[in-house]
A and B are shown apart, each in its own frame.
Chain A
Amino acid sequence: MKQKSIIAAIAAIVLAIALLLMPPGVTSRFASLVRIVTHPALAWADWTARVSLATIGHGSPFPEYEKITQLQYDLAVKQTELSNAGAKYNTAILENRFLKDRLRLVYDDSLFTLALCKVMKRDPVSSYYDTIIIDGGTKEGLKIGQVVLALPPTPPPGEEREAPSLLGIIRDVSRDSAIVTLTTASDFSIACHIPVRGVTGLITGRVNSSQKGPAISIPPGNLILRHPSEPPADPVQVGDKVYTSALGDNSESVENIYVGTVDEISTNEIGAPVLHIRPAVTNEQLSYVLVALKTTPEEARRKQQLKQQQQQQQQ
């Protein structure tokens, strides 16, 4: 009995190690197959979890809960449309400010469209603040490196809605789902800039153990911007807003997405400034996210031409 168990366990462990050592191409195909096979089980588990929530959490019958979910989805779609408009408005403001500062430079605006995706899974133990899995995939045009944004909270009546802010970057995509590295992950990094000061740099997550923020039990700490480009004449102040930059090596990155505000400024051992950036959003409770799908300049031009043609035809 004991011997059989030990032999079976050793065989299973050897098989698992063999899987670990296999070339990535083979394992990724195998993983895709497993994801397809396990789809019904996940659907069943999702249904069970939702019924549990309806029974314990809401205390309401299931159809009511379904209605609420549908309403939430409709609301999220409307929010997306509003966010699109808000993002364009903010881009225009930033562009205007930038051109005012640097009259001789041409500012290349990166056009993008937003896709609404639902958060499917979060691993509670190993990566709650590191990754999320969303229900959009290559089918919806998602690619590795695309920027993921958080839906802005509903503003109080009479106030303007905030623009969506940075939540993470897509790390891997399958046909129906994608995994997103959150800004609170320790291996997160993205190029950024502070437009009002003309500073650029690379933001990283919680880099080493000296930084505060255990991964799960307490929400992680701030993002870090090390070695900013040039010490500017107008130095960075606490409260300055930080935006993404397309200067990095990520071709899918989008410019001028709000990241957060400078919370603290310190210097490292060689005297270079280190900026601690407080992210604009917390990611503890996420239901829906937005993915910025970048459009190429050719596509943008084509769209503009189509619009112009349609306007001419209408006239």
Chain B
Amino acid sequence: MQSMPDKPRLVEIEIRFNPKLILEYMTSRNGFWRHASFLLVTLFWISTAFGLQLSLPTVFPSWPWLPAAWGTAYLATRRGPVCAMASAFATGLALDAICFQPLGPSSIILVLIALAARLFSARIPWQKFFITNTLALAIGSTAIFVIGKAFFCRPAATLETDFALLPKFLFGGALLSLPVCFLTYSVKDIIEGLLFQSIDDTVAASEE
């Protein structure tokens, strides 16, 4: 009999309901808990980013707060590519919707921030170079956000006024971003470490 290498082979798969496995998934720390808390914490970081972006200026009007950009850069480096871009898109969408702006421009700017942060972190990972990485993310995200907002989200403004507002937000924002990012990224990393570090990882680390 001749063999037929080009013909696809059929594989028979039997799906069975396995109560023990499901129970293990629902109760183990690496199962449902991990996935649910991961989603909730990500949603919380996104909400905090756009919420504070709009609330802080009313309380401290003279400070150039840009938590949406800083929060997006954080999520971009600590999450997978799809989650990073989705959270950047959602943050931008919320910013535009709440500010009665056309939907889209803020999302594009924040997605660009997320992409830049991911490409940078691929070369200099935050796990090894926390200080350098945080420094670059803080300044880079501030610069992209301010330039993007100034040039693409102000249809009635002139180039002159755009250039006039850049120094305050570029230099002021960059200066403010350094302490804020170091503090918030550290706190967030500690919280995520406590919530998401699996028991297996802890045991492996202690054995080493």
Inter-subunit contact A284/B85 (CB<8 Å):
no
- Min CB distance A30 to B, Å, is 7
**Residue numbers in A under 8 Å from B59 (CB-CB):** 49-50, 52-53, 57
A34-B94, A121-B99 given as contacts; is B104 within 8 A of A16 (CB)? yes
Closest beta carbon of chain B to A125's beta carbon, Å: 4
Partner of B48, one of A45, A125, A187: A45
| Inter-chain contact B160/A209, CB cutoff 8 Å | yes
B146 within 8 Å of A (CB atoms): yes
Q: Is A213 an interface residue (CB 8 A)?
A: yes
Given contacts A38-B97, A216-B165, whether A9 and B111 have CB atoms under 8 Å apart is yes
Query: What separation, in Å, do the CA atoms of A6 and B1 have in the docked complex?
Result: 49
The verdict on A49 contacting B56 (CB below 8 Å), with A126-B149, A216-B164 known, is yes
Cβ contacts under 8 Å, A16 to chain B:
89, 92, 103-105, 107-108, 111
Which one of B33-41, B112-120, B133-141 is at the interface?
B112-120
Query: In the docked arrangement, what's the CA distance between A119 and B61, Å?
Result: 13
Asked if residues A214 and B160 are in contact (CB atoms below 8 Å), the reply is yes
User: Quick check: B111 and A215 within 8 Å, CB to CB?
Assistant: no
Minimum C-beta distance from B114 to chain A (A):
7
- In the bound complex, residues from chain B placing their C-beta under 8 Å from that of A52 are 56, 59-60
Report the Cα distance A17→B57, complex, angstroms.
28
* Contacting residues, chain B, for A35 (C-beta < 8 A): 97-98
Q: Which residues 31-63 of A have a CB within 8 angstroms of B? A: 31-32, 34-35, 38, 40-42, 44-46, 48-50, 52-53, 57
Binding stretch for chain A, among B16-24, B150-158, B180-188: B150-158
CB <8 Å contact, A1 and B81: yes
Check: A124 CB closer than 8 A to any chain B CB. yes
Nearest CB of B to A180, in Å: 10
Partner of A5, one of B57, B107, B115: B115
Q: Which residues of chain B have C-beta atoms less than 8 A from A174's C-beta? A: 100
- Beta-carbon contacts of B138-176 to A below 8 Å, as 1s and 0s? 000000011001100110111111111101110000000
Given the known inter-chain contacts A8-B82, A45-B55, please indicate yes or no for A171 contacting B160, CB distance below 8 A.
no
| B93 touches A (CB below 8 Å) | yes
Residue from B51, B115, B119, B167 in contact with A45 in the complex, judged by beta carbons closer than 8 Å: B51
A19 and B158 alpha carbons, distance in the complex (Å): 25
Contact mask for chain A residues 225-245; partner B; CB cutoff 8 A; 1 contact, 0 none: 000000000000000000000
For residue A218, CB closer than 8 A to chain B, the reply is yes
Q: Is the CB of A209 within 8 A of B81?
A: no
Cα–Cα distance between A8 and B79 once the two chains are bound (Å): 13
Q: How far is the CB of B73 from chain A (nearest CB, A)?
A: 13
Is residue A82 within 8 Å, beta carbon to beta carbon, of the partner chain? no
Q: How far is the CB of B6 from chain A (nearest CB, A)?
A: 30
Query: Within 8 Å CB of B167, what residues of A?
Result: 217
- Which listed residue, B55, B65, B103, B162, touches A27 by the CB 8 Å rule? B103
Contacts of A27 on B, CB cut-off 8 Å? 102-103
The proximity string for A residues 48-81 relative to B, scoring 1 for CB distances below 8 Å and 0 otherwise, is: 1110110001000000000000000000000000
Assess the A19–B122 pair: CB atoms within 8 A. no
Closest to A4 in B: B81
Once A27-B102, A126-B150, A186-B156 are accepted as A-B contacts, the answer to whether A8 and B85 lie under 8 Å apart by CB is: yes
Q: Interface with B: A94-102, A127-135, A255-263, which one? A: A127-135
**Is the beta-carbon distance between A42 and B164 smaller than 8 angstroms?**
no
Q: State whether the Cβ of B52 lies closer than 8 Å to any Cβ in chain A.
A: yes
The interface bits of chain A over 144-171 (1 if a CB of B lies within 8 angstroms of the residue's CB, else 0) are: 0000000000000000000000000001
Do residues B107 and A45 form an inter-chain contact, with CB atoms below 8 A? no
Whether, in the assembled complex, B50 has its beta carbon less than 8 Å from a beta carbon of chain A, the answer is yes
Task: Pick the residue among A17, A125, A218 that contacts B146 (CB under 8 A).
Answer: A125
A5 touches B52 (CB 8 A): no
**6 residue pairs, one from A and one from B, having the closest CB atoms:** A45-B51, A214-B164, A41-B47, A34-B97, A20-B104, A216-B165
Return 12 A-B CB contacts under 8 Å, by A number: A6-B115, A16-B111, A32-B97, A34-B98, A41-B50, A45-B47, A45-B55, A123-B99, A124-B64, A130-B154, A214-B160, A215-B161
Q: Which residues of B contact A (CB under 8 A)?
A: 47-48, 50-52, 54-61, 64-66, 80-82, 84-86, 88-89, 92-94, 96-105, 107-108, 111-112, 114-115, 118-119, 122, 145-146, 149-150, 153-154, 156-165, 167-169
Given contacts A1-B122, A2-B118, A19-B107, 18 further A-B contacts (CB under 8 A): A5-B81, A5-B115, A5-B122, A8-B84, A11-B85, A16-B108, A34-B97, A40-B47, A44-B51, A45-B48, A52-B59, A126-B150, A128-B61, A172-B100, A215-B162, A215-B165, A216-B168, A217-B165
